[in-house]
């Protein structure tokens, strides 16, 4: 009896649905994402956009300070001097269903004058692309990422007031005709109209919390899709007078909101079999787990992120570990018996993270494992959780590291992880940490109510 299950996704059969036709478009929104995970855009009339496409290097000018700001505060190491060219990548064009007549496009930061290259090491999309190319060219390995997005709908930000209160996956959370049902369906329609394959949406556990799941894509396309999915959620919610937030845990006595990234590993030289990890899968997982305390600086990048890092709340726990279908581990191995759909669910990411940087960090950790074809010495947690084990039991399982419990600890871990810094680039790490520290200062101003309000408005 064949027990394999799940839709089969491979690097060869997935492709984002592109819509490069500008017919009927009046405007093009040029989007980028900075180190603080703020979606930014400039809106160009389509006539001027077409003129740009006919130029030698299609793009828009952008001050180099664009990547170095937290709010209006410029981080150390950045100045208002100098400009990048934000080079348009037409392959990323897609319609904006929430704004009829508008198209959306992403790009990459480039130096205006290249010496020896125009590539900008600080560009989030360029960084992710470089790591993916390294894995493919040096190790014949590619990755796919499918994403679960959790968010909360609010009637009011000051004070926080959810649209409704419901239980996990209950149909009562999406009653026909209710504002949340209307908004969720319009969001779902818009995601699909934007060329993103939606698999499911449902009510989650926190007040007015919902989840959307989209199908796997290559990590770069998956990050683009996640950024635009968030834009759709926020825009459609605002259209109906609601505020959508991806904040990690706005209600202290309720579950938090995370981003669960399902990463699958596809090696050209190795056939997967059911019931056990391939050597490439095992090496990738070993590397990612080994560097997870440092990776967290990019996947859990705010002080608020660590209100969600806890044991016993299905958020991945506080120990670096993995387990088969175990939601109390930082990495859940799912569909283990089905090699075609097997993947690693990374549960250590939230909505404050820049997905290009988060996926780059995950893949960089896995790449370190692939470079040395590291054996997976840590044992599966099985049906228990690391927090429930004795120290002796954890040692026997090879569970020796904790997740950082604060953003300060995560930053320190990243600074000390030489191998991860080498792949990400020392210049990038220094600049990212400077911006991250500035962000923490800005987000921490005022009393707790002011901080929460700022968090929910920002994310």
Does residue 14 fall inside a structural domain? Answer: no
Burial profile 23-43: b = 16 or more Cβ within 10 angstroms, e = fewer: eebebbbbbbbbbbbeeebee
Q: What is the pLDDT of residue 5?
A: 77
Does residue 11 fall inside a structural domain? Answer: no
Pair (379, 410) in one structural domain: yes
Domain termination residue (choose one: 120, 151, 180): 120
Task: Quickly count helices (H) and strands (E) in the chain.
Answer: 12, 16
Does residue 4 fall inside a structural domain? Answer: no
Domain termination residue (choose one: 120, 143, 159): 120
**Residue closest to 107 by CA, chosen among 166, 160, 183, 30:** 30
CA distance 309 to 352: 14
CATH number of residue 208's parent domain: 3.30.590.10
User: Residue 357 in contact with residue 298, Cβ under 8 Å?
Assistant: yes
Tokens at 325, concatenated: 């279908």
Q: How many domains does the chain have?
A: 2
Pair (172, 87) in one structural domain: no
Phi-psi map region of 237: left, alpha, beta (phi>0 left; psi -120 to 50 alpha): alpha
Pair (62, 114) in one structural domain: yes
Pair (110, 138) in one structural domain: no
The DSSP annotation for 285-337 comes to: HHHHHHTHHHHHHHHS-SGGGGGS--TTSSS--SB--EEET-TTSSEEEESTT
Domain termination residue (choose one: 89, 120, 151): 120
Q: What is the pLDDT of residue 3?
A: 67
Pair (310, 450) in one structural domain: yes
Taking the model in full, what pTM does it have?
A: 0.96
Can you say how many angstroms the Cα of residue 124 is from the centroid of all Cα atoms in its chain? Answer: 12
CA distance 211 to 194: 18
Tokens at 78, concatenated: 């950045």
Tokens at 118, concatenated: 């125009």
Distances (CA, A) of 255 to 62, 209, 314: 39, 9, 8
CA distance 71 to 68: 10
- The continuous run of DSSP H or E covering 453 comes out as helix 448-458
Does residue 77 fall inside a structural domain? Answer: yes
Distances (CA, A) of 367 to 93, 177, 374: 29, 48, 10
Q: What is the pLDDT of residue 115?
A: 72
* SS3 annotation, 32-62: EECCCCCEEEEEEEHHHHHHHHCCCCCEEEE
Q: Among all chains, which residue has been given the structure tokens 């009339």?
A: 45
Distances (CA, A) of 241 to 65, 110, 165, 177: 33, 38, 18, 16
CATH number of residue 33's parent domain: 3.10.20.70
Pair (107, 169) in one structural domain: no
Pair (166, 115) in one structural domain: no
CA distance 145 to 278: 18
**Residue closest to 300 by CA, chosen among 247, 359, 353, 347:** 353
Total residue length of the chain: 459
First and final CA of the chain: distance in angstroms?
Answer: 47
Contact partners, residue 56, CB within 8 Å, separation at least 6: none
Pair (93, 194) in one structural domain: no
Does residue 13 fall inside a structural domain? Answer: no
Q: Among all chains, which residue has been given the structure tokens 């600074």?
A: 415
Nearest-Å Rg of the Cα atoms of the chain is 21
Does residue 268 fall inside a structural domain? Answer: yes
Phi-psi map region of 305: left, alpha, beta (phi>0 left; psi -120 to 50 alpha): alpha
Q: Among all chains, which residue has been given the structure tokens 């290097």?
A: 57
Does residue 248 fall inside a structural domain? Answer: yes
From first to last of its 459 residues, the chain has per-residue pLDDT tens of: 676 777 888 888 887 666 668 889 999 999 999 999 999 999 999 999 999 999 999 999 999 999 999 999 999 999 999 999 999 999 999 999 999 999 999 999 999 987 777 999 999 999 999 999 999 999 999 999 999 999 999 999 999 999 999 988 899 889 999 999 999 999 999 999 999 999 999 999 999 999 999 999 999 999 999 999 999 999 999 999 999 999 999 998 899 999 999 999 999 988 888 889 999 999 999 999 999 999 999 999 999 999 998 888 878 899 999 999 999 999 999 998 888 889 999 999 999 999 999 999 999 999 999 999 999 999 999 988 999 999 999 999 999 999 999 999 999 999 999 999 999 999 999 999 999 999 999 999 999 999 999 999 999
Pair (372, 226) in one structural domain: yes
The phi, psi pair for 172, rounded to 5°, reads -65, -15
Q: Determine if the peptide bond prior to 316 is cis (ω within 30°).
A: no
Tokens at 265, concatenated: 């590993």
User: Strands 27-33, 102-111: parallel, antiparallel or unpaired by DSSP?
Assistant: parallel
Pair (213, 73) in one structural domain: no
Q: What is the greatest pairwise CA distance in the chain?
A: 68
Does residue 428 fall inside a structural domain? Answer: yes
Q: Which domain holds residue 114?
A: 27-120
Long-range contacts of 323-328 (CB under 8 A, 24+ apart): 323/380, 323/381, 323/382, 323/385, 324/380, 324/382, 326/380, 326/381, 326/382, 326/383, 326/385, 328/381, 328/385, 328/386, 328/387
Pair (234, 361) in one structural domain: yes
Pair (102, 143) in one structural domain: no
CA distance 172 to 203: 9
């Amino acid at each position: 009896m064949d027990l394999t299950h799940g839709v089969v996704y491979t690097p060869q059969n997935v492709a984002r649905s592109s819509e490069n036709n500008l017919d009927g478009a009046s405007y093009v929104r040029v989007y980028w994402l900075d180190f603080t995970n703020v979606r930014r855009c400039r809106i160009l009339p389509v006539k001027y956009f077409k003129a740009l496409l006919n130029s030698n290097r299609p793009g828009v000018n952008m001050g180099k300070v664009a990547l170095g700001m937290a709010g209006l505060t410029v981080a150390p190491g950045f100045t208002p001097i100098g400009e990048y060219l934000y080079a348009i990548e037409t392959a990323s064009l897609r319609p904006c269903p929430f704004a009829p007549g508008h198209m959306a496009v992403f790009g990459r930061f480039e130096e205006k004058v290249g010496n020896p290259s125009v590539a900008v090491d600080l560009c989030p999309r360029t960084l992710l692309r470089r790591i993916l190319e390294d894995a493919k060219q040096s190790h014949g390995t590619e990755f796919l990422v499918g994403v679960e997005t959790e968010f909360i709908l609010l009637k009011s930000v000051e004070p926080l007031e959810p649209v409704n209160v419901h239980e996990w996956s209950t149909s009562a959370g999406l009653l026909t005709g209710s504002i949340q049902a209307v908004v969720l369906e319009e969001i779902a329609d818009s995601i699909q109209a934007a060329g993103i394959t939606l698999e499911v949406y449902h009510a989650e556990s926190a007040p007015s919390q919902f989840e959307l799941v989209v199908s796997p894509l290559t990590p770069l396309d998956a990050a683009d899709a996640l950024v635009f999915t968030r834009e759709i959620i926020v825009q459609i919610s605002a259209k109906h007078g609601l505020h959508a937030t991806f904040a990690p845990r706005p209600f202290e006595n309720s579950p938090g909101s995370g981003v669960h990234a399902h990463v699958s590993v596809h090696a050209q030289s190795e056939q997967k079999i059911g019931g056990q990890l391939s050597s490439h899968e095992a090496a990738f997982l070993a590397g990612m787990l080994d560097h997870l305390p440092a990776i967290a600086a990019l996947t859990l990048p705010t002080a608020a992120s660590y209100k969600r890092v806890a044991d016993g709340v299905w958020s991945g726990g506080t120990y670096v570990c993995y387990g088969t279908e175990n939601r109390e581990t930082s990495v859940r191995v799912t569909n283990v018996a089905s090699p075609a759909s097997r993947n690693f669910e990374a549960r250590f990411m939230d909505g404050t993270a820049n997905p290009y940087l988060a996926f780059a960090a995950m893949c960089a950790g896995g790449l370190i494992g692939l470079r040395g074809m590291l054996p997976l010495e840590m044992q599966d947690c099985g049906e228990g959780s690391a927090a429930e084990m004795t120290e002796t039991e954890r040692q026997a399982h090879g569970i020796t590291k904790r997740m950082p419990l604060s953003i300060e600890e995560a930053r320190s871990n990243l600074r000390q992880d030489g191998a991860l810094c080498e792949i990400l680039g020392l210049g990038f790490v220094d600049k990212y940490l400077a911006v991250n520290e500035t962000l923490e200062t800005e987000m921490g101003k005022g009393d707790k109510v002011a901080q929460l309000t700022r968090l929910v408005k920002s994310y």
